[in-house]
Amino acid sequence: MKKTLALALAALASLVVTTATYAGSTGFLRVHMVPTSNPGRPQGSRADCWIIELPDNTRMVVDIGDNGYYSAVTSRLTALGISQVKYLVGTHDHVDHIGDMNAFVSNGWVNNTTMYFPKGTINTQGPYYSALITALNNKGMSMTKLKAGDYIVNTTYSGKTFKIRCLSPENSKVDGGADDWGSENEASLVLKITYGAKSILMQGDAYGNVEDSILAGPYGSEINLCQVIKAGHHGVNANGAISCREAYLDAAGCNKALISNGDLAIDATIKARLQARNIHYFSTGFGDGYCYLETDGSSNWVESEAPQWP
C-alpha cells in the first residue's frame, strides 16, 4: 500500500513540475511525443499524437491517436498548462491519427476558425473523417486543405525565421482533388517546422517512395538542415513499405528521430539506417513513451531524456 501511494504521489509531482515548466513557450520550439497506449484497440499503442509549442507562445496538435485516446492528449495538455490550441492538424484519414479528433473539436480545444488536413479525395472517405467534418460544422469551423508548398505559418519571431510548411502531398499527385497516390498513408501531410536555424520534419505516415518524390519535386531543397525527423509510419513495415530512405536522411542531415512505434518493434532496416548515421532515436515503445525536444532556434535541440539509442 505504501509503495502504491508513493508511486501515485511521484506521478502527481511529475505533472505539477511539468505544468510549472511549460507555463509558456515564448522563444522556444518544443515538440512533445505523447504516448497513447491502449493495447485493447486494433492499433494497439502504435498511434501518432504530437503537441508542439511554438516560439510565439501558440500551440499546435498534430494528430490525436486512435479512437478512445482523447483523454491521453487532453490530460497531457492540461499537465502542460495548455487549455486550447491554435493549430489543429490531421495528417490523414486513419483511425490511429484522427480517431478522436471529432471529440477534441467538439469539446472546444481549438481556438481557431479552421483546422488543417491534406488535399485530395483519398483522405475523405472514412468514418473518422466524416465525424470530424460534422464536429467542425457544429463548431462553425472550416477545414483548410494543404498541398506541397502551402504554409500554415510563414513569418519571423524575435528576428528568426518561423514557418510551418507543407512538403507533401504534391499538387500534381492530388490534381485538384482526384488522387493519384495509392493510399491514405502516401497522401498524408508532411510538414517542416522551422525556427531560426533549426527544423523538424513531421512525416505523417509517408513511406520511402513519398520521401523520394519530395526530394525529386519542387520543394526538395526544403529537406535540408532538418536536425530532427518524426519517422514516417511509426518506424514500422507497412506491407513491405518503410520510411527513412538513406538519401532522405542524408539530405536532411538529421541527428535525432522520434518514432511512434508503441507496442511494435522498430523495423530492423530503419533501425540500421538510423544507427549507421549516428541518429539518436526516441520511441513511444521505450520507458513511459513520453519525451520532448526543444530549441531556441539557435542552440542545438535539447532532449528531455536520454534516447533509446545509443
pLDDT in tens, 27-52: 999 999 998 765 555 555 688 999 99
Distance CA 33, CA 52 (A): 9
pTM: 0.91
pLDDT in tens, 66-112: 888 888 899 999 999 999 999 999 999 999 999 999 999 999 999 99
pLDDT in tens, 135-191: 999 999 999 999 999 999 999 999 999 999 999 999 888 866 667 788 999 999 999
Domains and CATH numbers, the chain: 28-37+45-303 (3.60.15.10)
Beta strands 190-195 and 160-168: pairing type? Answer: antiparallel
CB 88 within 8 A of CB 120: no
pLDDT in tens, 211-254: 999 999 999 999 999 999 999 999 999 889 999 999 999 999 99
Q: Which residues, other chains included, contact 4 with Cβ-Cβ below 8 Å and sequence gap of 6+?
A: none
Distance CA 229, CA 223 (A): 10
